[in-house]
């Protein structure tokens, strides 16, 4: 019995940590796809950029981990603005194939650029001692870094929830997701919303990329490798729904962890099986709107 | 850092002769990962090869050699096979070498048999690879050099009665699993379970697998992963989950305590026991000289590891084969020249077994110790001159 309880706690904890990480990295994609109708396959490249900016800040100029993490998010958010303005915006009216071609091209360019600067190998950072090893949460010992990841995820979710439900900008974004033309015709500056949403999403992805280094590693092919997971989160959660992305990311994190724990031979099978099952029942995702 | 890339696909010619009429030019195809996550391995072997060439020009008997390098990129086998085909048919190489990942050597084996081109393997350690072609000789190791003796040692010396195995799910991983299981069970130990932990290309998040092992509470946790970043992630996860304090010993082949990765590992690495055939910390005169030359050539902050030494020894074997055949390299001639060839390597005495074309070498028990804030390898035991146990006992595909 104790064995089962310990297994359940381990799966729950690691699954939630992994889910939080997936959420932070993919929520931006859900917003941009829902808001702008743009299939931005290069979303992972912003996460990857965040990871490498973090490495540059920490290894290059010795910024401590947590400030570097925040700075990585801000820097990438700012960098993403000209991308939105000059590369993505001209193609909003184009069809989806053009979106896919542009953004997948950006992924390859990002991979090549990062390989050129940082080399092809996995990069690593040294996290502060208090994030290493285990931490006593009162109910037992838990890996410190994952506890930190869950905490960061929880704070971001609360902030996003408040931002979208409790502020005027959030209300405008929700209005634009629901009906862009109506939002425009009542005087909402949708172009500006796009920039804000895009930068926010990219910055969050970058933060997630920085957090991911210690958990799933970081290398120049990261953007392509984890693209599938970002797309699954968005598809299962439903376009443009923060709640959907959150539930989907947690679900996927838990299922993936449980699958590996309980049936290691099955590998990554579970995550895809569940995705197919959910999309067969709810083609628009759990919280998507038809 | 990317100068090496400019060399890929290009041709490096080493004019070794003083211009004698009998001097031949020998074309050597080198298949290594030069880009991607495994590029660090390609770099190690490349440096080992070049160090030997620089130091021992005379060993080539006055013959000129030309290295034609091709990038095998990933472990899948496909790219390496294409490269080998091109090297044999278009470049008409006399000899092939390199091969970090087992699937790459396996996929290329039928081509070298057809093309009658000898292959000197510098890493790929799945035990039965030389069975795939009569023209393969190996200067590195087999998974059984480490895994099999580790099994006996874990039971008899470390007092582990139960073990769980974690392995990267591809041929050498399964081979290492079999090697340890055979040795451990022969000594009376019990393997609780063997867990496949993802593929060789991507370093997975090891946490769910390790949590499972932690709850199973074995005495020993034997791990095979391809060296490099996998190894660092293994020790980090082991440390973060508090498995050491839970009393679970982390053991494995020396891939998980690779010299080049040791300093990136957390302090929990201290006390890890592995079985391997090389570490840069060996205190033999040959090795001290080798490490010194390496640092002089590539920088004080670099260190050779088992792949670097295999590149070095492999080039020694190739030099011997070229000289023995008077520069006219054939597949049969190379195998004959290498059969029984012995060399005083930085790792100790090595010999190519005439029966199996595989290497005979010492298997050493390594312990990770901390000296002056640095993690180091200390040799605490030696099993002398081990012939590949898989073929010696004719187990499975080694029959």
pLDDT for A267 beyond 70: no
Residue A229 covered by a domain:
yes
Same domain, B45 and B55: yes
> How far apart are alpha carbons A13 and B293 in whole angstroms?
49
Give the CATH number of the domain where residue B151 resides. Answer: 3.40.50.2300
Same domain, B135 and B157: no
pLDDT value, residue B7: 47
pLDDT value, residue B6: 45
What is the pLDDT confidence band of residue B38, given thresholds at 50, 70 and 90?
Answer: confident
How far does B186 lie from chain A, in Å, by closest CA? Answer: 26
Same domain, B90 and B233: no
Contacts of A120 in chain B (CB under 8 A): 35-37, 39
pLDDT for B1 beyond 90: no
The burial class, CB within 10 Å (0-12 / 13-18 / 19+), for A86 is exposed
Tally Cβ neighbours within 10 Å of residue A34: 26
Same domain, B376 and B297: no
Q: Any CB–CB contact under 8 A between A117 and chain B?
A: no
User: CB-CB: which of A6, A146, A219 is closest to B37?
Assistant: A219
Residue A160 covered by a domain:
no
What is the pLDDT confidence band of residue B203, given thresholds at 50, 70 and 90?
Answer: confident
How far does A241 lie from chain B, in Å, by closest CA? Answer: 28
**Candidate ranges A220-229, A271-280, B109-118; pick with highest mean pLDDT:** B109-118
pLDDT value, residue A176: 87
User: CB-CB: which of B207, B214, B229 is closest to A121?
Assistant: B229
Same domain, B131 and B149: no
Residue A73 covered by a domain:
yes
pLDDT in tens, B295-321: 999 999 899 999 999 999 999 999 999
pLDDT for B194 beyond 50: yes
Q: Any CB–CB contact under 8 A between A263 and chain B?
A: no
Over residues B208-223, mean pLDDT? 94
List the 127-166 stretch of A: residues with Cβ below 8 A of B: 132-134, 141, 143-146
pLDDT for B9 beyond 80: no
> How far apart are alpha carbons A278 and A274 in whole angstroms?
6
Tally Cβ neighbours within 10 Å of residue A148: 20
Enter the tokens of residue B165.
């195995």
The burial class, CB within 10 Å (0-12 / 13-18 / 19+), for A2 is exposed
C-alpha separations of A153 from A25, A146, B282 in Å: 10, 10, 47
pLDDT for B237 beyond 70: yes
Contacts of B211 in chain A (CB under 8 A): 7, 10-11, 14, 261
**How much of chain B, in percent, has pLDDT values that exceed 90?**
83
Over residues B90-101, mean pLDDT? 96
Residue A169 covered by a domain:
no
Domain region containing B40: 3-141+284-357
Round the average pLDDT of chain A to a whole number and report it. 90
How far does B213 lie from chain A, in Å, by closest CA? Answer: 9
pLDDT in tens, B161-184: 999 999 999 999 999 999 999 999
Query: What backbone torsions phi and psi does residue B98 show, to the nearest 5 degrees?
Result: 105, -130
Same domain, B206 and B236: yes
pLDDT for B128 beyond 80: yes
> How far apart are alpha carbons A279 and A290 in whole angstroms?
13
Helices (H) and strands (E) in chain A, counts: 13, 2
Helix (H) or strand (E) holding A214: helix A190-216
Over residues B44-52, mean pLDDT? 96
Contact B383, B114 (CB under 8 A): no
Residue A182 covered by a domain:
no
Same domain, B267 and B391: yes
Contacts of B203 in chain A (CB under 8 A): 122, 216-217
Structural domains counted in chain A: 1
Structural domains counted in chain B: 2
Same domain, B29 and B44: yes
Q: What is the pTM of this model?
A: 0.86
What is the pLDDT confidence band of residue A136, given thresholds at 50, 70 and 90?
Answer: confident
pLDDT for B17 beyond 70: no
> How far apart are alpha carbons A211 and B148 in whole angstroms?
39
Same domain, B195 and B331: no
Among A273-277, B99-103, B187-191, B315-319, the range scoring the smallest mean pLDDT is: A273-277
pLDDT value, residue B108: 97
Domain region containing A274: 2-152+191-281
Q: Do B229 and A217 touch (CB under 8 A)?
A: yes
Q: Do A14 and B208 touch (CB under 8 A)?
A: yes
Beta-bridge partners for B243: none
């Amino acid at each position: 019995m104790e064995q089962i309880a310990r297994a359940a706690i381990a799966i729950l904890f690691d699954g939630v940590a992994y889910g939080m990480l997936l959420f932070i990295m993919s929520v931006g994609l859900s917003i941009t796809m829902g808001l702008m109708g743009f299939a931005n396959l290069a979303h992972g490249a912003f996460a990857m950029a965040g990871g490498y900016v973090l490495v540059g800040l920490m290894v290059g100029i010795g910024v401590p981990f947590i400030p570097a993490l925040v700075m990585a998010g801000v820097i990438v958010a700012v960098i993403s603005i000209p991308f939105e303005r000059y590369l993505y915006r001209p193609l909003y009216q184009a069809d989806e194939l053009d979106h896919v071609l542009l953004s997948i091209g950006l992924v390859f360019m990002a991979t090549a650029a990062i390989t050129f600067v940082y080399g092809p190998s996995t990069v690593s950072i040294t996290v502060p001692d208090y994030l290493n090893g285990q931490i006593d949460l009162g109910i037992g010992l838990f890996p410190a870094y994952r506890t930190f990841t869950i905490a960061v995820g929880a704070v971001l979710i609360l902030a996003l929830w408040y931002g979208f439900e409790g502020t005027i900008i959030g209300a405008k974004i929700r209005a634009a997701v629901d009906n862009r033309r109506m939002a425009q015709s009542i005087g909402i500056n949708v172009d500006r919303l796009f920039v804000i949403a895009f930068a926010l999403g990219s910055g969050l992805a970058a933060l997630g990329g920085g957090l991911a280094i210690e958990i799933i590693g970081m290398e120049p092919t990261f953007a392509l490798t984890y693209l599938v997971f970002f797309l699954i989160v968005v598809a299962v959660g439903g376009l443009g729904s923060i709640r959907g992305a959150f539930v989907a990311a947690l679900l996927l994190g838990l299922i993936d962890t449980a699958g590996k724990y309980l049936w290691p031979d099955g590998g990554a099978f579970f995550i895809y099986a569940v995705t197919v099952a959910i999309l067969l029942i709810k083609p628009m995702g759990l919280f998507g709107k038809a | 850092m990317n100068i090496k890339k400019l060399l890929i696909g290009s041709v490096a010619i080493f004019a070794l002769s003083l211009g004698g009429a009998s001097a031949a030019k020998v074309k050597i195809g080198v298949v290594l990962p030069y880009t991607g996550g495994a590029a660090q391995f390609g770099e190690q072997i490349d440096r080992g090869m070049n160090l030997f060439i620089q130091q021992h020009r005379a060993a080539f008997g006055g013959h000129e050699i030309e290295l034609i390098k091709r990038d095998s990129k990933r472990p899948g086998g496909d790219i390496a096979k294409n490269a080998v085909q091109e090297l044999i048919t278009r470049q008409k190489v006399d000899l092939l070498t390199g091969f970090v990942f087992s699937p790459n050597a396996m996929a290329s084996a039928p081509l070298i048999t057809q093309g009658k081109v000898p292959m000197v393997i510098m890493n790929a350690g799945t035990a039965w690879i030389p069975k795939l072609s009569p023209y393969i000789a190996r200067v590195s190791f087999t998974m059984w050099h480490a895994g099999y003796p580790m099994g006996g040692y874990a039971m008899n010396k470390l007092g582990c009665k139960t073990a769980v195995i974690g392995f990267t799910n591809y041929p050498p991983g399964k081979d290492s699993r079999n090697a340890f299981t055979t040795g451990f069970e022969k000594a009376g130990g019990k393997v609780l379970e063997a867990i496949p932990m993802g593929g060789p290309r991507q370093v997975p998040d090891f946490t769910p697998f390790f949590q499972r092992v932690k709850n199973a509470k074995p005495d020993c946790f034997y791990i095979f992963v391809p060296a490099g970043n996998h190894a660092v992630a293994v020790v980090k996860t082991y440390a973060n989950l508090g498995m050491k304090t839970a009393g679970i010993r982390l053991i494995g082949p020396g891939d998980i305590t690779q010299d080049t990765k040791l300093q990136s590992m957390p302090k929990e690495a201290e006390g890890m026991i592995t079985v391997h055939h090389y570490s840069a910390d060996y205190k033999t005169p040959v090795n001290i000289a080798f490490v010194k030359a390496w640092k002089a050539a590539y920088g004080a902050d670099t260190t050779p590891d088992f792949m670097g030494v295999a590149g070095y020894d492999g080039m020694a074997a190739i030099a011997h084969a070229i000289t023995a055949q008077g520069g006219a390299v054939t597949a049969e001639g190379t195998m004959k020249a290498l059969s029984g060839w012995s060399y005083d390597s930085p790792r100790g005495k090595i010999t190519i077994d005439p029966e199996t074309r595989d290497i005979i070498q010492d298997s050493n028990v390594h312990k990770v110790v901390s000296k002056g804030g640095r993690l180091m390898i200390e040799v605490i035991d030696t099993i002398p001159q081990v012939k590949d146990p898989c073929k010696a006992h004719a187990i499975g595909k080694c029959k």
